[in-house]
Every structure is written in C-alpha cells, then in structure tokens.
Structure 1
Amino acid sequence: MTAIRILAPQWGNNEVPAAEFIARVVDAGFDGIEMSLPDDAGEREDWLRRIGDARLDLVVSQWQTVFHSEFFAHRTALQSLLTRACAARPLLVNSHTGKDYYTREQNEELIALADAIAREHGVPIVHEIHRSRFSGHPMLLLPYLERLPGLRLTADLSHWCTACESLLEDQPSTLDAVLPRVRHIHARVGHAQGPQVPDFRAPEFAVELAAHLGWWDRIVTMRRTAGDAVLTITPEFGPAPYTFRMPYTQELVADAWELNVAMAKLLRERYR
C-alpha cells in the first residue's frame, strides 16, 4: 500500500525559528516539511539536523531561480540549487524550472540538467506546474510530455485554473496526459480567477474543492495501482497576497497555517 505522507509548507513561516516551526509541525500531526534550504551552510545543517531528530520527512523546494530571468544565469543557479537540494537527501526535490518565454530547446536543456543531477545523487527531481514556468499552461506543457517520457511533475493545478480561467472541465484529455506524470501534490484549491480560494471550507467554494479532490483522488489511485511506496502531498495555502487582505484595514481574511492544518486533516481522513 502506498504511504501518503502529508507535509507542512515552510512557505509563509520563513521568519519562524527552526525549533519553533518544527515543534508546530509535530504538534499539528504532519509527517514532514517542504521547504527551501537556507543559503547559509550552518543554518542549513541546523535545519536538517532538527528535522532528522524529529523523524520528519523532507521535500526540498527549489524556487529561487525565479530571480534569474536570463537563461545562462538561470541555468547556473538551477545547477547549484538542485545539487545543494539533493545533497540534503530529501524524499524528492520540487523544482521551479525554466520560464514560459524560454525556447523549447532551452527549457529542455534545463530539464536534462535536472535529470542528470537526480541520477548522480539518486534523488528524484520533479517539476512544478506553476504560472510563468515551462509548465504554466497546459498547451505549453503538453509538447514536453510528448517529447520527454521521463518527465515527472508536481501537481499544483490551482495555477492552471487561473491560466485557463476554468476548473479544466473542458480539458479531460489534458488531465489524462498529465496526471499519470505526477509524483508530488501541492494541495491548494484555486478558482477560475486566482490560485487560492479564500477558505476552501466555505460552502461557496464547494465546486472548486470537489474539482481539486477529484484530481488528487485520481493521482492517489494511479500511484497506488503502480505500487509506489510513497506519495507526498503538501497543503500549500500561502501568505498574502495568496491569502486575501481586507481593503484599507489589511486584515487577513483567513489564517494560512490553519487552512493547511485543516486540509491535512481532510486528506488524512480521505486517504487513510
């Protein structure tokens, strides 16, 4: 039976000290943490030691290449960041790879680089479906799936809800092609006008929640049928501006950590 491991996102909690955040993760019942690694080696080792001592799983998220728009700078940063990520020996690395304005050849070069680093270290690297990356829209991604049979993905389909201004109900063949490639899930609920509903528990977002749960159900079934040992899922409701603020007062309309804990509970009960 495939073990479903539910991870807490450090995103949105970056200012919380390691000891405090890890205690919060354990208290909330998460199986592990998804985080980007600190640049400072000493701080990085402290995090990894504490995560290991707490017997938590780790997924490393590489997103920092977003700051490198020029291709060769992006490639250099990607090589360094993925090598560092794999050295931490996580369950997998989730990578924000490429740009939607790079050529196909450039993005394929980056994917090949990631594949080589993954093989060298024996750590899977998966590429996140995300706006502005090579996977930012279904019609951008599908040619890569046709050309690269080994390409593996993180499903954050909330981004495609925004990019396609829909719940993808008109693209069943796209989902048929994409979902078998998924090895990691970002469990955030999006809508046709944005990547995060204010509160997925609210009845007015029942249709959006049902659509996302349907996609995740299919992925879980596929990985169980394939006999995978582990499938990782990170509830990923994010800080402002992903979480809305009230005009003028700037009061947050929801607490992202509370939403992530609630989503973890829902998923644990659903996939028990």
Structure 2
Amino acid sequence: MSQLLVLQSVWGLDQCPGFDIENRLDEALGQVVAAGFDGVGVNLARAARTDGVARVMNPLGLAWEGQVLVHDADQLRHWIAEAEQLGAHHLNVQIAGPTADFRAALRLIDSLVATAKDAPLPVWFETHRGRLTNDLLFTLQLLAERPGLPLTADLSHYPVAGEMELPLRDDQLAAIETILQGSHNFHGRVSTTHQVQVALDAPQHAGWRDQHIAWWRRGFELWLEQARAGDALTFMCELGPPPYAITAPDGKELTNRWDEAQRMRDIVRGLWREVAGT
C-alpha cells in the first residue's frame, strides 16, 4: 500500500519559539519526532545541520529530504553522491535561473535529467520563484518539450510570481493541473496574490487557503493514479522564518509557525485519508 510521509522543514524551525536549531539541533529534531512528523527536510549545503539530521533520523528509520541548488550537472552529481552517502530519502533540486534563453534551459534540464537517471535515490526538481521554474508559462513550455520531468510542487510561488487573483481563470487552473500531473513531492504553505506565506487560518485568506488545499488534494489524487505498491509520497510543511513570515512593526511574527506546521500536517493527512481511502 502507498503511504504519505509528512516532513517538517528544518529551515522552518529557524527563529521559531521553543527551538534552537543552531545550538540544540538534536533537541529540536526530537521535538519534531515527538510531534508525530515522519521526518524533516534540510539544505545539504548547511553541512552541520545535515550531519545532525542524518545522526538523528537515520537510526530511527525516518525519512529526510535533502535540498540543493544546482547550476549544472556536475553539481547535481556531487549532491546525489552526498545525499546517498548521508542516507537521504530523496533529493529536492532547485535549478538556478531564471533565464529567457529557452534552448539553454532545455539543454540544462537534459543534462540534469541524464545525471539523475541512474541515481540511487529519487531526484525531483522544484517549482520555485527566482529559479529556472520562476515563471509558470515558461515552466509549462519546458514541460511541453520535456514531458515527464519529475517535479516537487511548491505551488505557493506561482500565485505571487503571476499575481493571480481569485477566482482563478480556467487557463490558470489548467496550468496548475499540468504542474500537478508531474509532481512526485510537495512543499506546503499558503500564499496569496501578493504574499508568499500568510496565516493558515486568517479569515481574510480563507479563499487562498481553500485553493491550496484543493491543489494538494488534487495532487494526491493524480499521484495515486500512477503510484506502485509501497511507494511513498512526501509532503513537507515549509513555513519559513521572516521575511517569509509576515511580521508586526516590533519584528514579531503574527502567528506561531510551529502550531501552524502541525495544523498543516493534520490537514494534509486528512486529505490523504480521503483520497487514499485509509
């Protein structure tokens, strides 16, 4: 039977009350485990954090996502080897960019896909602002030329980058559907037309919260249609510290990110139960 693994971003614990990931990482990871998450995600370039994650998660048999930014295939080859050696469940790749040179973008994707083809762990390419996949329409053109590119869907970036407004147009919904069809991994936060991360339960953002939840649910449905027995879908709660998190004039965040991460975890597990029938 397929399963859902809900992860917590280590970056998402930075500056979070009750956590000290710089000086007491093991304790912070222990809190994540005790709260019932299935693992974490960490930037492999943060070597000390990554070593700590591997030290805590591997003996427990819990999954963790390695995250990297790459400019070329040589960098990806290095990080694949590093992720395997450390015991990562999968590798999440942001591709450097953006660029207006479509042919150059295709050549880069081809080199990265060829490098990842025989990797000993899954390698997925994230939709993200400020990267090769910055623009939704550009990304759709890439996918039209290279169907099957395995994606991590961080859909929070596209409403902001494209200044989408509710209710979404049919072409916008169709565009996100195309992204979801190729998505093997999810990063979660609620964004709006102008903010990349807003309070999960703020009534003024209810429309966007419901839209993101609908996207996650649809992504789960599409993933299950092609999943094999024993496959695992990963969803990482990725509520970032300021400036991702909105702050008041005194610099304090408007919400408790840890509480929100646990609320998001419960939402996505509920969606999974609905679509998977478990």
Q: Equivalent residue for 1:245?
A: 247
Aligned to 2:235: 233
**In the alignment, is the contact (CA less than 8 A) between 1:99 and 1:134 conserved in 2?**
yes
Count, aligned residues = 261
Whole-angstrom distance in 1 between the partners of 2:114 and 2:74: 14
Separation of aligned partners in 2, 1:88 and 1:117: 19
- Which position in structure 1 is the counterpart of 2:210? 210
- Give me the whole-angstrom Cα distance separating, in 1, the residues matched to 2:158 and 2:94: 15
Question: What is the aligned partner in structure 1 of residue 34 from structure 2?
Answer: 27
**TM-score after normalising by structure 2:** 0.85
> In 2, Cα distance between the equivalents of 1:150 and 1:225?
15
Change (3 A) 1:269 1:83: same
Q: Is the 8 A contact 2:163 2:194 kept in 1?
A: yes
Match of 2:142 among 127, 141, 144: 144
Corresponding residue of 1:125 = 123
1 CA distance for matches of 2:115 and 2:217? 31
Bigger relative contact order, structure 1 or 2 (CA pairs below 8 A, ≥6 apart): 2
State TM-score, norm by structure 1.
0.87
1:48 paired to 2:50? no
Q: Judging changes above 3 Å, is the alpha-carbon distance between structure 1 residues 89 and 33 closer, same or farther for their aligned structure 2 residues? A: same
Q: Note if 1:186 corresponds to 2:193.
A: no
SS at match of 1:243: coil
- 1:174-231: CA deviation from partner (whole Å, max 9, x where unpaired): 123221100111111000002111x111222110111001111111011112234211
Percent identity for Structure 1 against Structure 2: 26
Q: Secondary structure at the residue paired with 1:121?
A: coil
**1:68 matched residue in structure 2:** none
Cα gap change, 1:156/1:46 in structure 2, threshold over 3 Å: closer, same or farther?
A: closer
Hey, what's the Cα distance between the residues in 1 that align with 2:159 and 2:128?
11
- Native 8 Å contact 2:54 2:87 kept in 1: no
User: CA–CA distance in 1 between the matches of 2:3 and 2:80?
Assistant: 25
| Deviations 1:87-141 (CA, angstroms, capped at 9, x unpaired) | 4342321111020126233333332333233233322211111111121121110
User: 2:118 aligns to what SS in structure 1?
Assistant: helix
Inter-partner Cα distance in structure 1 for 2:161 and 2:62: 34
Structure 2, gaps ≥5 residues long? 15-20, 274-278
> Structure 2 CA distance, aligned partners of 1:15 and 1:115?
34
Say which SS state the counterpart of residue 124 (structure 2) adopts. Answer: strand
> Residues 189 and 36 from structure 1, CA distance in 2 versus in 1: closer, same or farther, beyond 3 angstroms?
same
Structure 2 counterpart of 1:23, which letter?
Answer: G
Distance 1:49 1:81, change over 3 A: same
Aligned residues of 1:98 and 1:110 also touching (Cα < 8 A): no
Whole-angstrom CA distance in 2 between matches of 1:143 and 1:34: 29
Which residue number in structure 1 is paired with residue 44 of structure 2?
37
AA at the equivalent of 2:252 = E
8 A Cα contact 2:76 2:115, kept in partner: no
1:147-186 equivalence runs, <5 A: 147-167=145-165, 169-170=168-169, 171-186=172-187
What is the rounded CA distance, in whole Å, between the counterparts of 2:46 and 2:8 in structure 1? 20
* Change over 3 Å in CA distance of 1:82–1:109 after alignment to 2: farther
In the TM superposition, 1:99-110 aligns within 5 A as 99-101=97-99, 103-110=101-108
Instruction: Work out the CA distance in 1 between the residues paired with 2:165 and 2:59.
Output: 41
